[in-house]
A and B are shown apart, each in its own frame.
Chain A
Amino acid sequence: MMSSFLFRAMDARAGIFMAILGAAIVLVPAGNLLVPETSPFHVPTYAVTLMGKYLTYALLALAVDLVWGYCGILSLGHAAFFALGGYAMGMYLMRQIGTRGVYGDPILPDFMVFLNWQELPWYWYGFDMFWFAALMVVLVPGLLAFIFGWFAFRSRVTGVYLSIITQALTYALLLAFFRNDMGFGGNNGLTDFKDLLGFDIQADTTRAGLFAASGLALVVCFLICRALTRSKLGKVLVAVRDAESRTRFLGYRVEHYKLFVWTLSAMMAGIAGALYVPQVGIINPGEFAPANSIEVVIWVAIGGRGTLVGAVIGAVLVNFAKTWFTAALPEIWLFALGGLFVFVTLFLPKGIVGTFSQGWTALRQRKISAAYEAGSDEPPTAPPHSPGAPANVTIPKPSAPVSGAAEPQPAE
């Protein structure tokens, strides 16, 4: 059962993707650690960290694609799960500082000493152990998502309303984490980390290791998402996305399905956050900003929603562009990003990968149908179709005038 489940995850496209990612996981750290600095193939440490950061973003985008691309839940609050995972990791890293902090307190992190706290708040207990922190990295975002989703999906909050309350959720957390008495370092967040599992966090080897870990996490999560979306469950998710009430009338409990992927997705976002924090060396409430969540959505949209690979490509491309622009033309970056939002929604509604594979599928389909009509007695076998990508007919051409198909939603 399990093997067939995982076997389903593989096909040509997934294979290529995994091969590239696998190569990166091996080559980038090798290029950093083994190749001498004088060689043109040497990868500088800052680049390793930067790419590691991109990979965690890619994982976050993957999580968003799972719920948005396949289940139609547009989350404008996924950065909240990302940040919560990050905070869980940050708390572990804080506890590892020990007496090396500015105030040298063996238990209390610096900011607590600074605020004159006498003892560690109860919710900081256990974070000195890595396994506990690692568990919290998935449990805390997962639990929040579960509770939130339990209420939201059961009362059938959908579409834009859901998007808006996810945004309110992350906004509320943003405000909460800014408060000093929450015990998470307030405005400044958690920083000045020293080591992770005993390895110096600044060391090249640790950096390379974190890069590899991010890549591995991405591969594993990609495989899980891939297997999941190609299972019957994945088909149900797409059914929910396209015709929710029809799915209900078929006897599927839509809220259970939504809750399942929503929670899973939040956990993935939490893992992404946990890998992000040691690489950038800080986690602060700014990560909860609603703008961050929306930006993730645009990575997915650019890469192609409902394609998984697209989410990863989109995240890496946009962030690469961001790094380049903010260094070279900081004034232009917001124009470019804003323009990208508009351009993609208007002219590239299926994103890069979606547009490519649409052409590919259409080509294959034509060949198969032609062969069938030409008298082949073998009915065509299932062509590679991507249930994630929305059906052809639903894309109105941007140049078409407003027609019956493109009506404003009635006031609801």
Chain B
Amino acid sequence: MSLVRTFILLFGLIAGFSVNIAIAQTDPESLRPLVNELAKGKYAETEKQIGALVATGDPAVAPALEALGAGVLFYRKSDGSVFITEKAGKTYKLTDPLTLEAKGEAGKREVKKIKVNNKLRRVIRAALGSLTLMAPDPEVRKTAAEAVFKARDPDSIEALDIALASETDESVQLIMEQARAAAVLNSDMDEAQKINAIETLSEMGNRDALSLLINVQSSSEGVVRDAATIAVEKIEKSIAAWDSAQNIWYGLSLGSVLLLAAIGLAITFGVMGVINMAHGEMVMIGAYTTFVVQELIRTSAPGLFEYSLFIALPLAFLASGLVGIAIERGVIRWLYGRPLETLLATWGISLILQQAVRSIFGPTNREVGNPDWMSGAFELGQMTITYNRMWIIVFAMLVFAGLMLVLKKTSFGLNTRAVTQNRRMAASMGIRTPWVDALTFGLGSGIAGIAGVALSQIDNVSPNLGQGYIIDSFMVVVFGGVGNLWGTLVGAMTLGVVNKFLEPYAGAVLGKIFVLVFIILFIQKRPRGLFALKGRAVEA
């Protein structure tokens, strides 16, 4: 009971403040005579006066009513004006009930308490409830209704009924009805009413409704109990479905992270046959590029912060791509055809890059901010969808589509595929194979860089960032089948979803171990991955 009061008071106050400002512009003192009326007459009259205050529908009267209920509303004998008081030693601190400004102090004898009895207290409570429930701001009404839902106070049914009668906003109306249903189930109203309420809640279908109904199920009998049982089953089913949907969503989200991390590798490893152990560091470079861009924006053009990621994307692509080209020209091109040596050399490069970043930016995590459009979340049915995850899924798909386009539709892509399939033939047809090698490697690295921009939004930007992704990325590429970008897509998404479905049963770490073991076993079965090329040529 006291909880609901606190809530209502709280929201009433907020509403009061906001409305005060509005009133100040129109007619600030119009309510004062009505409030001062409270000082006059007996209980019966007070009840009428309360009704009159509520009838204004103005939340500004809420503090006064709340104080009246709490027995701290006094009136000054000298002029009959009403104040909220707080005892301070031998005197009372006075607060204006409408503006909530301090109005000095008064001696014990100068003021007198406005008396209330239990009946009036109930009236006040209902009045307060309906006041906030009828506040002009729909958000306030919504919050008030939600508070009632949580408190399930049967006394607020009346207020809800009044509020519902005049409610125009459909979403608020729905919440009010649910709140009413919750309150009804807690009251001693008849079975028909309760069954109606159960239906309302069963349509609501979320966890709150479920726990409420389970409560009803255990505490009631007969028809109500049966109705509650049916409703519980229905909700449980729908919640299970939503849970799966949420898991799939998490899985897809993890899958897109994996895809982003792995897709650059799919090019360098899959298309070119180069094992780039420094791939994770390309991702890291992309993330640090984002950090640098945001730092520059912070110091020189704070207004651009919302666009920082769009600025970082091309820069990260360039930075990682150039580093990639440098690695290819400087080291990898001497090692073509010796994949194991390439692996070792690029591992060395990854150590150097990590240490370089550590020396420049320090070993600790760097703060990369989320722009507003990347933060927050929204609800879809019973699922919570965070904006950063959603944009990363979208982004991963865009990157994938873009890469496909580049490889299938541009002459650069054609050259790459030609060199991949038959180097000598391609060279003799005038394709400059060293250039194609360097650019393809640059492309793969650049894509790792823009993956780094995205991952900087959900992961710690530290020199170890890349290490966390390298094994997973290899798993994705190998699982999906080397040399096949679609395989990488399917591989990333499968691994993401499987991981997230295992997590509730096995825990995050054990789930990951299972996935690793699964891949190890899978490679035994299909050494060339999910979408392997078959035939004589690939055996070699």
Contact = CB atoms under 8 A, between A and B. Distances in A.
A408 B348 contact: no
B531 to A, nearest CB: 12
A337 B527 contact: no
B428 to A, nearest CB: 11
A221 interface: no
Interface stretch (A17-25, A171-179, A266-274, A366-374): A171-179
Nearest to A152: B524
B478 A408 contact: no
Contact of A338 (B272, B273, B352): B352
Interface stretch (A31-39, A339-347, A376-384): A339-347
Interface string A328-343: 0001001101111110
Interface in A360-412: 396, 398, 402, 404-412
Nearest to A346: B334
Given A161-B478, A335-B355, A407 B336 contact: yes
A155 B336 contact: no
B88 to A, nearest CB: 53
Nearest to A148: B520
B251 to A, nearest CB: 19
A259 B115 CA distance: 93
B275 interface: yes
B350 interface: yes
B331 A342 contact: yes
B281 to A, nearest CB: 11
A175 B273 contact: no
Contacts of A154: 524
B521 interface: yes
Contacts of A175: 509, 512-513, 516
A151 interface: yes
B523 interface: yes
A78 to B, nearest CB: 14
B341 A349 contact: yes
Contacts of B277: 294
A175 B515 CA distance: 12
B122 interface: no
Chain A CB within 10 A, most for which of B331, B350, B351, B424: B351
Interface in B226-259: none
A165 B337 contact: no
A298 to B, nearest CB: 6
B74 interface: no
Contacts of B474: 164, 167-168
B528 interface: yes
B321 interface: no
Main secondary structure of the interface of B (DSSP, over half): helix
A160 interface: yes
A156 interface: yes
B336 A402 contact: yes
B475 A168 contact: yes
A74 interface: yes
A121 B205 CA distance: 45
Interface in B445-502: 467, 471, 474-475, 478, 482-483
Contacts of A148: 520
Given A345-B344, A346-B331, A412-B540, A151 B521 contact: yes
Contact of A169 (B467, B520, B527, B533): B520
Question: Which range holds the interface residue count of chain B?
Answer: 35 or more
Interface in B146-187: none
Interface in B342-372: 342-345, 347-352, 354-356, 358-359
Contact of B273 (A335, A346, A412): A412
B337 A406 contact: yes
A408 B344 contact: no
Contacts of A297: 344
A234 interface: no
B471 A171 contact: yes
A346 to B, nearest CB: 6
B337 A408 contact: yes
B340 A412 contact: no
Going nearest first, the 6 A-B pairs with the smallest beta carbon separation are: A341-B348, A411-B483, A409-B273, A338-B351, A338-B352, A334-B355
Interface of A: 74, 148, 151-152, 154-161, 163-165, 167-169, 171-172, 175-176, 178-179, 290-291, 294, 297-298, 301, 331, 334-335, 337-342, 344-346, 349, 396, 398, 402, 404-412
17 contacts: A164-B474, A171-B471, A172-B512, A172-B513, A175-B513, A175-B516, A178-B509, A179-B510, A337-B348, A337-B351, A338-B350, A338-B352, A339-B348, A408-B272, A408-B274, A411-B271, A412-B483
Given A176-B509, A338-B347, 16 more contacts: A155-B525, A164-B475, A169-B520, A175-B513, A335-B355, A338-B348, A338-B352, A341-B349, A345-B341, A349-B341, A402-B333, A406-B338, A407-B336, A408-B272, A409-B339, A411-B271
Interface of B: 270-275, 277, 331, 333-345, 347-352, 354-356, 358-359, 420-421, 423-424, 433-434, 437, 467, 471, 474-475, 478, 482-483, 509-510, 512-513, 516-517, 519-521, 523-525, 527-528, 533, 537-538, 540
